Structure 1
Amino acid sequence: MLVNPSTLRTFTQNIFLAIGCSAEHSVLAADVLLRSDLRGIDSHGVARLSGYVRLWEKKRINPNPNIQIVHETPTTATVDGDAGLGLVVAPFAMQVAIKKAELYGSGWVSVRNSNHFGIAGYHALMAVEKDMIGFAMTNASPLVAPTFSNERLLGTNPMCYAFPAGQYPPVVVDLATSAAANGKLEIAQRSGKQVPEGWIQDKEGNYTTDPHALKSGGSLLPLGSDRDHGSHKGFGLSATVDILSAVLSGANYGPWVPPFVAFLDPPADPVGQGIGHFLGAMRVDGFRPVDEFKSHLDNWINRFKSSTTVDPSQKVIIPGEPEREAEIDRAANGIPLVDAVVADLNVLAERFSLSPLTH
């Protein structure tokens, strides 16, 4: 089913309003989710909406948080999200980072007491709009086993770096530090498909292609899948995200991160508050004139796009390019939603006495 972006945006805003979010926060939260769907990252868009509602019903999300800076220096800060939507808390923190960067060249903010913040790219791109380099990362509920382990100790822990270009769209390096994002498993589950080998292991530590394996004690694998293919590097990247997002801010880390799903209770022995994020912004002109940087990044992009490929029918894909192409197409032609997601959203519509999504 194709849905007009404007229709989906209004629907999503109304759901956030219905759970008690302010008009300003509802617009912002909906914008983060819609940007994900527009960019083709369906796993983190409106498909997540019912998850936020269920957490709100469990009183694990505060719809009207008092988001505040609890510690700061001229270039750094710690933000407490007051259990608010990460979709709102993270943009607040990035604005803090940007303001510090405007004054001092760079700004770095670690966040505690937050929730799932959507796609990391949304927050990193906020800095790009100011001719800055943006950084965004978050820890997440433990689904990933470290190299050599079959115990779930880390989240998919995504990180994003965004760079402003000139004639080209920004270069956006947005990736999970696991072999695959959990949302990819959810998409496979909804469509009844298997997943590639190397994404998941069962509870005994054997590769499986069953997207439901996590429900029976399995775990996601780090980026690289196994040690021979560099999983220790994925583990290291994930550890970096966890430490910067949570150990630094006072959020929960490792196996203590609360689950996104409402039917699972948070750990009874928390080591911090909520989940954590880490946001950063650096002024390009702190290093060289912006126009020079953009010109040379354009040259960088040109050279990589023109590189010789093994298969002449293929081309080198610049990070962020597929998402930008999806955004152009979906803004014009509509956002595709699978039947399971439409059904899920219509349950919410009935729950809050809203008009259902229809063809």
Structure 2
Amino acid sequence: MQSQLTYSAEELCRLAATVLETRGVPSDDAALTARSLVQADQRGIFSHGLLRLPLYSEALRLGGINPAPSMTFSWGGDAVATLDADGALGQVAMQAAVTRVIEAGRKHGIAAVAISNSSHYGAGAFWSDQLADAGFLSFITSSTGPVVAPHGGLTKVLGTNPLTLGAPSADGWPLTADLATSNGAYGKVIAAKNEGRPLPEGWAVDAEGNPTTDPEAAAAGSMIPFGSHKGSAVAVLLEAFASSLTTATYAFETVDIWSNPASRMNNGHLVVGIDTEAFAGRASTEARIADLQQQVRNAGPAGKTVHAPGDPERIRETEAGSTVQLPASTADQLRTLAQELSIPSIL
């Protein structure tokens, strides 16, 4: 395990926002994106944290991400809309979509926004948490670059196609499932490469289809869907949900910014929110979800607590408090980036 270094979350947010502003991102959008990355690191999701800031910076510099987009909503009905994000940071596009879903969901009980021309939006729980705070159940997914071969295949047809499901709870912590549909997120392959460590077995195959734990060989080969043919089926359907409602590209049509930071990826996202108040009522639903969480936690043998979905990340965030522990390799990259941009660094 690589050593980790501890920093102030507030200072890391300021550093990340300054990097983005230096690349032309408006201050509010920069602050939003910085918060999403730092929160991921606080929760131990290093694959979706500040590890990605140098990539965002380079894509902003080369045109793969538009720092100041002119996003356009088109309403397909009272409760549904599409959003052309104009190459925006995914976090900026998602914030606009989540806000609209909550507004429309309050009126109609359910709402959805499908997004095109976007980019990576960070950890999905950052968005499902907002919906849970508003009393909404949520379904969120996205297309990505091509890194996953379907079950039985060798060609990288699919992305890691994340799935985030969230539900509000009287417990105080939402019930949250936030996962890639590959055995590991692609950011974890990058992290393993940066840190000089192998991947877990069963995550990837090389270009010839042989199992590999080498991150370099995995990048040249493909990631494996979780759950064999069942997980592969879920990944394929999420690709359809994320991209087919708009002009967003499928993964196999996309050049990933990991490969070419100048690429406009045209990622598709889908956000669906269900207002619990419109059904049995928010208080009733949140009480029932809290009961479900507690039953899961109590399901272990005597003296052992089972985690409900989302618990491990929340526990890490709570323990972190106002600090962030970064892998040393990420801290090194951020230090280099700050130097290149002549930004004062805390690292």
- TM-score using structure 2 length: 0.94
Alignment of 1:90 with 2:87, yes or no, is: no
Alpha-carbon distance between aligned partners in 2 of 1:146 and 1:265, rounded to the nearest angstrom: 27
Match 2:244 to one of 244, 247, 254: 247
Return closer, same or farther for 1:264/1:132 CA change in 2, 3 Å cut-off.
Answer: closer
Structure with larger RCO (C-alpha < 8 A, sep 6+)? 2
The Cα offsets for residues 153-174 of structure 1, whole Å up to 9 and x where unpaired, read as 1110101011111024110110
| 1:28 match | 32
**Corresponding residue number in structure 2 for 1:352:** 341
- Give runs of aligned pairs for residues 198-277 of structure 1, distance below 5 A: 198-215=202-219, 217-224=220-227, 231-261=228-258, 263=260, 266=263, 274-277=266-269
Is 1:51–1:262's contact at 8 Å kept on the other side of the alignment? no
Q: After TM superposition, list the pairs within 5 Å mapping 1:1-359 onto structure 2.
A: 1-215=5-219, 217-224=220-227, 231-261=228-258, 263=260, 266=263, 274-309=266-301, 314-332=304-322, 334-358=323-347
Counterpart of 1:344 in structure 2: which amino acid?
Q
1:328 is matched by which residue type in structure 2? Answer: T
> Aligned partners of 1:152, 1:210: CA distance in 2, in Å?
17
Residue pair 2:212, 2:218 contacting (<8 A) in 1 also? no
Residue 262 of structure 1: CA displacement?
Answer: 5.2
Structure 1 unaligned regions, length at least 5: 225-230, 268-272
**Per-residue deviation at 1:214?**
2.8
- Cα distance change of structure 1 residues 307 and 145 upon mapping to structure 2, 3 Å threshold: same
Distance 2:254 2:128 in 1: 23
Following superposition, the deviation at residue 295 of structure 1 comes to 1.5
Greater mean deviation of Cα atoms: 138-147 or 53-62: 53-62
- The corresponding residue for 1:228 is none
Deviations 1:260-284 (A, max 9, x none): 22537659xxxxx711101111101
Q: How far did 1:308 drift?
A: 3.3
Which amino acid counterpart does residue 180 of structure 1 have in structure 2?
A: G
- Runs (4+) off by over 2 Å: 262-267, 312-315
Q: 2-side partners of 1:34 and 1:299: how far apart? A: 31
Cα displacement (A) at 1:209: 1.4
1:237 aligned partner, one-letter code: V
Contact kept? 1:121, 1:172, Cα under 8 Å: yes
Q: Evaluate the alpha carbon distance shift between residue 22 and residue 308 of structure 1 in structure 2; reply closer, same or farther with a 3 A threshold.
A: closer
In 2 relative to 1, CA 204–265 (structure 1 residues): closer, same or farther, beyond 3 Å? farther
Mapped partners of 1:155, 1:164: distance in 2: 28
Judge conservation of contact 1:258–1:275 (CA < 8 Å) in 2. Answer: no
Question: Following the alignment from structure 1 to structure 2, what is the Cα–Cα distance between the partners of residues 7 and 264?
Answer: 27
When residues 196 and 313 of structure 1 are mapped into structure 2, their CA distance, relative to the original with a 3 A threshold, is: farther
State whether residues 305 and 316 of structure 1, in contact with CA within 8 Å, keep that contact through their aligned partners in structure 2: yes
Aligned partners of 1:285 and 1:174: how far apart in 2?
A: 24
Q: 2: CA distance between counterparts of 1:357 and 1:326?
A: 23
Q: Which runs of 5 or more residues in structure 2 are unaligned?
A: none
Q: How many residues align?
A: 343
Partners of 1:349 and 1:326 in 2: CA distance: 27
Distance 1:123 1:351, change over 3 A: same
| Identity across matched positions, percent | 28
Task: State how far apart, in whole Å, the 1-side matches of 2:276 and 2:320 are.
Answer: 31
Query: Taking structure 1 as the reference length, what is the TM-score of the superposition?
Result: 0.91
2: CA distance between counterparts of 1:305 and 1:294? Answer: 17
What is the letter of the counterpart of residue 287 of structure 1? F
